[in-house]
């Protein structure tokens, strides 16, 4: 038994599984309470109390929702492509979770430190597009198809600007590893040097997660519920979970890239993760605040903003940052 | 490559979470189905035709343009990581690269390929 524990491969897998269990459970708990927080905040912003009947101050509401979703009957529309119909909701939630394997939560707490961490995030956010597109197409419903098409066009358009806006950070650190990027921000977080990139990243993050004011894929006034019109029971639940997990994941990446991750004053190393979660919560609150403040974009305005404003701006940001980094290094 | 093993484990954990959740709901949910209920939702009206319909060519155009620009972005990533070793040479190279990219971008604008309404 002791020989097994001393085996480095066994140790690697064992500690990875422990960390994965902690992060996966913590993340899912965080997501369910974020949904409650969103409903509470939405209520407050509209002058009503929000859910407050299940448990003290509505705190058991997420549990009640999950149980309700499990016991709901499911509809699979006739002539739907059943295989794709089942895969799509899983694709909505898996990539958002997997990204957390490279995000440094505390000084010594990250599942793994790979030297292409940022690329893993971009790859996973690209896979998220498939969930929406395939879900919309496989339902054999016209509204769902239109919602899926709209959102795939929207997400790939904004992905360009998102990818390019992170390059400024790479120029400053010279590494794609998120752990290195956080360490490089020990003194000053990068949003000070990269304010434009931070702004572009947050705008594209809203579009990538299909949140208002970019929630055209599920514009309920015109497309019923968009790509998940035909989804019910736990498959709808997974789409819902995926959307909110994506918000948390993308805010966690923004925290890591621009706000200095777990870096912060006063706390000892073992408690630095509190800073990470405070910054994360602040960004998530901004997402909710925007949702209940701005009206939805029109589709041509949305595409114009992505292709004609954010893309050139992020390219210009890359060149200006490159020139500045070169100048500072060779002064 | 050892540091990639946890990513794989995380992927497996996430997949099993998704599969178990959907599987469990399949086991415990009620089933009272009929043909009407299983019809695609079209606001209560009888569905007209199939949803596997033709859609606007603009969506293809956006997808093609995305692939072009995304490949350009993929070239910029390794450049950004190796930027300090490349020095002035790297900066000029990338300026030329982005200049060529901009020519194509201006062509798209002039062709009105990025205008949604036309």
Residue A220 forms contact with B (CB below 8 Å)? no
CA A327, CA A133: separation in Å to the nearest integer? 44
Q: Do B98 and A315 touch (CB under 8 A)?
A: yes
Q: Do A312 and B105 touch (CB under 8 A)?
A: yes
Please tell me which residue of chain B has the smallest CA distance to A137. B52
CA A25, CA A278: separation in Å to the nearest integer? 19
Return averaged pLDDT per consecutive 10 residues of chain B, 118 residues in all: 85 91 84 75 72 80 88 88 85 89 89 76
The 8-class DSSP code of residue A299 comes to H
Residue A172 forms contact with B (CB below 8 Å)? no
Q: Which of A101, A146, A299 sits opposite B6 (nearest CB)?
A: A101
Q: Do B98 and A319 touch (CB under 8 A)?
A: yes
Tokens matching residue A164? 């390019």
pTM: 0.89
CATH topology for the B2-110 domain: Methane Monooxygenase Hydroxylase; Chain G, domain 1 (1.20.58)
Q: Do B2 and A12 touch (CB under 8 A)?
A: yes
Per residue in B50-66, pLDDT (tens digit) is 777 777 888 888 888 88
CA A226, CA A274: separation in Å to the nearest integer? 37
Spell out where A89-129 has E strands.
none
Predicted pLDDT at A202: 92
C-alpha distance from A266 to closest chain B C-alpha (Å): 31
C-alpha distance from A225 to closest chain B C-alpha (Å): 11
Q: Do A230 and B105 touch (CB under 8 A)?
A: no
| Residue to test with chain B: of A85, A86, A125, A315, most B Cβ within 10 A | A315
Q: Do B6 and A307 touch (CB under 8 A)?
A: no
Any residues with CB less than 8 A from the CB of B60 and at least 6 apart, and which? none
Any residues with CB less than 8 A from the CB of B76 and at least 6 apart, and which? A164, A167, A318, B94, B97
| Residue to test with chain A: of B6, B60, B113, most A Cβ within 10 A | B6
Q: Is A258 exposed, middle or buried (CB count within 10 Å of its CB: 0-12, 13-18, 19+)?
A: buried
C-alpha distance from B40 to closest chain A C-alpha (Å): 5
- Specify whether the CB–CB gap between A92 and A83 falls below 8 A: no
Q: Mean pLDDT over all residues of chain B?
A: 84
CA A259, CA A186: separation in Å to the nearest integer? 10
Region for residue A58 given its phi and psi (left: phi exceeds 0; alpha: psi -120 to 50; beta: otherwise): left
Predicted pLDDT at A217: 66
Predicted pLDDT at A193: 87
Residue A20 forms contact with B (CB below 8 Å)? yes
Q: Is the peptide bond before A213 cis (omega within 30 degrees of 0)?
A: yes
Predicted pLDDT at A301: 84
Q: Which of A12, A24, A322 sits opposite B13 (nearest CB)?
A: A24
Residue A317 forms contact with B (CB below 8 Å)? no
> What part of B 57-96 touches A (C-beta under 8 Å)?
58-59, 62-63, 65-66, 69-70, 73, 76-77, 80-84, 87-88, 91, 94-95
Predicted pLDDT at A218: 67
Predicted pLDDT at A5: 76
Candidates B34, B26, B10; CA nearest to A237 is B26
C-alpha distance from A252 to closest chain B C-alpha (Å): 17
Return averaged pLDDT per consecutive 10 residues of chain A, 331 residues in all: 76 84 88 89 88 83 86 79 86 90 85 86 89 85 82 87 90 87 86 89 89 73 73 84 90 90 81 88 91 84 87 90 86 74
DSSP-assigned states of every residue in A222-267: HHTTGGGTT--HHHHHHHHHHHHHHHHHHHHHHHHHHS-TT--SSS
SS3 at position A176 = coil
């Amino acid at each position: 038994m002791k020989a097994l524990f001393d085996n480095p491969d066994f140790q690697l897998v064992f500690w990875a599984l422990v960390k994965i269990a902690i992060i996966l459970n913590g993340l899912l708990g965080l997501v369910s309470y974020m949904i409650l927080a969103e409903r509470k905040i939405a209520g407050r912003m509209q002058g009503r109390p929000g859910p407050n009947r299940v448990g003290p101050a509505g705190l058991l509401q997420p549990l009640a929702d999950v149980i309700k979703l499990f016991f709901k009957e499911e509809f699979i529309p006739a002539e739907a492509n059943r295989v794709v119909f089942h895969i799509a909701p899983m694709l909505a939630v898996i990539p958002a979770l997997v990204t957390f394997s490279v995000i440094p939560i505390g000084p010594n707490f990250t599942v793994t430190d790979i030297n292409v961490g940022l690329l893993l995030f971009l790859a996973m956010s690209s896979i998220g597009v498939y969930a929406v597109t395939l879900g919309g197409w496989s339902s054999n419903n016209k509204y769902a198809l239109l919602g899926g098409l709209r959102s795939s066009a929207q997400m790939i358009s904004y992905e360009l600007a998102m990818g390019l806006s992170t390059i400024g950070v790479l120029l400053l650190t010279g590494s794609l590893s998120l752990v290195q990027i956080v360490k490089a921000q020990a003194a000053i977080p990068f949003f000070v040097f990269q304010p434009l990139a931070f702004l572009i990243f947050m705008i594209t993050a809203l579009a990538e997660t299909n949140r208002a004011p970019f929630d055209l894929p599920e514009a309920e006034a015109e497309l019923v519920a968009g790509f998940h019109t035909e989804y019910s029971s736990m498959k709808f639940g997974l789409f819902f979970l995926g959307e909110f997990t994506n918000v948390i994941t993308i805010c966690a990446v923004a925290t890591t890239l621009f706000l200095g991750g777990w870096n912060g004053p006063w706390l000892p190393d073992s408690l630095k993760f509190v800073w990470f979660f405070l910054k994360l919560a602040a960004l998530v609150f901004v997402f909710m605040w925007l949702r209940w403040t701005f009206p939805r974009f029109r589709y041509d305005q949305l595409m114009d903003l992505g292709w004609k404003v954010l893309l050139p701006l992020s390219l210009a940001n890359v060149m200006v940052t490159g020139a500045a980094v070169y100048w500072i290094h060779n002064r | 490559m050892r540091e990639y093993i946890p990513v794989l484990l995380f992927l497996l954990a996430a997949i099993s979470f998704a599969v178990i959740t959907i599987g469990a709901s399949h086991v415990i949910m009620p089933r009272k189905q009929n043909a009407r209920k299983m019809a695609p939702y079209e606001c209560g009206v009888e569905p007209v035709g199939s949803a596997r319909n033709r859609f606007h060519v603009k969506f293809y155009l956006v997808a093609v343009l995305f692939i072009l620009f995304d490949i350009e972005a993929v070239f910029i990533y390794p450049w950004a990581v190796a930027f300090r070793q490349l020095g002035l040479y790297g900066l000029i190279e990338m300026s030329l690269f982005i200049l060529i990219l901009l020519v194509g971008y201006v062509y798209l604008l002039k062709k009105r390929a990025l205008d949604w309404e036309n």
